[in-house]
Chains A and B, each alone.
Chain A
Amino acid sequence: MAERAAALGAPDKLAFLLSLVPYLIDQVRVTVAEAAEHFGTTPEQMRKAVTLIAMSGTPGADGTYTHETLFDIDWDDFEERDIIRFRAAPMEERPRFSAREAAALLAGLQRVAALPSFAARVDILELMAKLARGASDAPVALAVRPGEQAGIHGMLVDAVAAGRRVRIDYVTTRGERQVRDVDPIRVEGIDDAWYLRGWCLTREAERTFLLDRVASVEVLGEAEAHTSEAADDALFQGDADDELVELALPVTALPLLADYRGADDTVRIDGDRAIVSLRIAHPGILGRVAARVAGAVEVLGPPSARSAVLDWARAAIAAQGTDPA
């Protein structure tokens, strides 16, 4: 579990304190180090939290805090031996989940339950029912239903687990068919799309392949082990060789371009039009961008890109057996 980030807000800190109290009472006697490890926090943070709790309590009948209404810990154990032991506690309840917390976990479970390796697990349904019952209010309306997985997904997951090299028949974003030999590193799912991250022997570099674009998979011999150097977010790096193209589109349609935008793209707002510079691999992608906004995108330049888009659209119309407009 990752270290608890230092800059958590008050809601997280409160949830931590409310969860820590019943834990410490249940443990009866626990070292600071052990408790810190259990909650994925540092010993210093744990000491700070215990000190805060030990000085808290409930106002008594006359409205003042007294020994009878305060948490009481064994201070000698705590200060000299780093051991937490409560002698008295005005509160020991285990908090319920909020409706939103339960909803987030339930929807996450729906995603996990749809994975082939979890498909036959009835215990997930029981777990979901238990989680909903443990919420302080009906979980907010949130649900996910992932799509089915193609057969190649299972083959690639197995290849990763078994350390097998694979040969994939792949169609690139330029529309070219290529056969690549890959030592798989992992299979990743983002939204409803799946990606194979692996060491591409053909290119001698780490590459990401979209499973949608894999026509077939052949399992070869043993793979060499590679550790991934790329962060999660490096999936969609633009290629510096790609042509820089300038587009105009309605400002309101700008969010629809999110998938194609790179870090170094520039956007200029001119009234209700946005002028965007993007790196684009080929006219087919430009056509795809134009399609996003039902044809309201205009390629401003360079002229070669403008005419490529025009030719691309005319060819598409001609292929339908209709006269080009």
Chain B
Amino acid sequence: MAAAPRKVPVEERLFSLVLALLATEQGLTKAEILSTVTGYAHRYASQADRANLERQFERDKEELRDLGVPLETLDAPGAEGDTKLQRYRIPPDRYQLPDDITFTPEEYALLRLAGQVWREGSLSADTRRALTKLQGLGVRIDDTVIGVAPRIRTRDDAHEPLQAAIDRGLQVTFPYLKPGVTVAEERLVSPLALVFHEGRWHLHGHDDGVDAPRTFLLRRIVGPVTTLKSPATRRTDPEVAARVLDELARLWQATTACVRPRPGSEADVVLRNRAGTEEAAGEPGGEAALVVRTTDLDILADELTAFGADVVVLEPPALRDAVLARWQRVVAAHG
């Protein structure tokens, strides 16, 4: 064992750690791991290095958990929380993909197509690792090209910290600029789900400042997301995201506005192409008006303001006022 010390690459140390923890039934203590497993053992003899080695082990445990490796910590009977006596193991039944889960070449092709949706950030990295694991199942690559997937960007800086905070069940704070206002406000939130709807990313969470559920637009988180050490006040569950999407869809269906674009204008073309737009029931003697849908009248107000004189906002009065106020602010700033 007294081989000449060599630099062990990180992946070799992590791989050896997984092998050792998978093979043990009763678990290994930290001392056993650090003194025997490749990547730690050659540094264990040096007392001076011991503290660094322990910190390294803590980071490696986090790394494995982030990768979805189910790492179990077992307390010694009668010594709960004593980290010296705790034993670590990876239960094979929780690590191993169930035998009945296999993928056909066609399913594999579909999953690769699904992976194309993400081309940046942590979702793209997660996808890449999932596809590597699929390759490990030995599914033959089908040559049939089944198209190019549309892509969804995750450019908002808030995306990654929020996803990580949901993953770890921690509270966050961030400055939020509500639609229609000009000054951002700091929010304290237990984040529960990230959903993409109407072309935008939303965070759903429990706003701990006002003690109520809230949905935020990521685009309007205008400063850094700070992840706190305090646990979230609500737990997420696998159905949260679908429930929030259903709520947004109901809201979208129910929230309508009536506008009259100048015929043939940019507003006319764009609003008619907008999902959910319908012709308004004919007003007597009036020009063609459109019913458009939105999840939030303030967001729609921003969009309509952009059309300027090419659009007349008819209903509801609150939307008409909101759009007028935006134009009046532009006049006030430049008059």
Contact = CB atoms under 8 A, between A and B. Distances in A.
Interface residues of B, number: 137
Contact of B266 (A133, A140, A171): A171
Contact of A145 (B12, B113, B197): B197
A259 B95 CA distance: 43
A319 B107 contact: no
Nearest to B114: A108
B308 A312 contact: yes
Contacts, number: 405
A12 B132 contact: yes
A312 B132 CA distance: 54
A284 interface: yes
A72 interface: no
**B interface SS class:** helix
Interface in B86-123: 92, 94-98, 101, 103, 106-107, 110-111, 113-118, 122-123
A19 B132 contact: yes
Contact of A319 (B242, B269, B312, B329): B312
* Highest count of chain B CB atoms <10 Å: which of A23, A127, A297: A127
B237 A138 contact: yes
A15 interface: yes
A284 B180 contact: no
B329 A213 contact: no
Interface stretch (B50-58, B75-83, B270-278, B280-288): B270-278
B296 interface: no
Interface stretch (A77-85, A199-207, A236-244, A250-258): A250-258
B89 to A, nearest CB: 12
B331 A58 contact: no
Contact of A20 (B67, B136, B197): B136
A192 interface: yes
Nearest to B179: A294
Contact of B63 (A11, A97, A320): A11
A253 B182 contact: yes
A192 B182 contact: no
Interface stretch (A99-107, A221-229, A263-271): A99-107
Contacts of A152: 273
Given A38-B141, A95-B136, A97-B130, A56 B38 contact: yes
Given A105-B127, A287-B330, A294 B302 contact: yes
B219 A190 contact: no
* Highest count of chain B CB atoms <10 Å: which of A144, A145, A288, A322: A145
B22 A96 contact: no
27 contacts: A13-B10, A13-B11, A20-B136, A58-B19, A91-B19, A100-B122, A108-B115, A109-B110, A115-B150, A133-B101, A134-B98, A135-B68, A139-B238, A141-B240, A142-B194, A147-B275, A191-B196, A212-B273, A215-B269, A284-B306, A290-B333, A296-B329, A310-B330, A310-B334, A318-B309, A319-B310, A320-B312
Interface of B: 1, 9-12, 14-16, 18-20, 22-23, 32, 35-38, 63, 66-70, 92, 94-98, 101, 103, 106-107, 110-111, 113-118, 122-130, 132-133, 135-138, 141, 147-153, 155-157, 163, 166-167, 175, 177, 179-184, 192-200, 219-220, 222-223, 236-238, 240-242, 244-245, 248-249, 264-266, 269-270, 272-276, 302-303, 305-313, 320, 323-335
Interface of A: 1, 10-23, 26-27, 38-40, 52-53, 56-59, 63-65, 69, 90-91, 93-105, 107-109, 111-112, 115, 117, 123-124, 127, 130-148, 150, 152, 171, 175, 177, 186, 188-194, 211-215, 250, 252-256, 258, 284, 287-288, 290-299, 306-307, 309-310, 312-322, 324-325
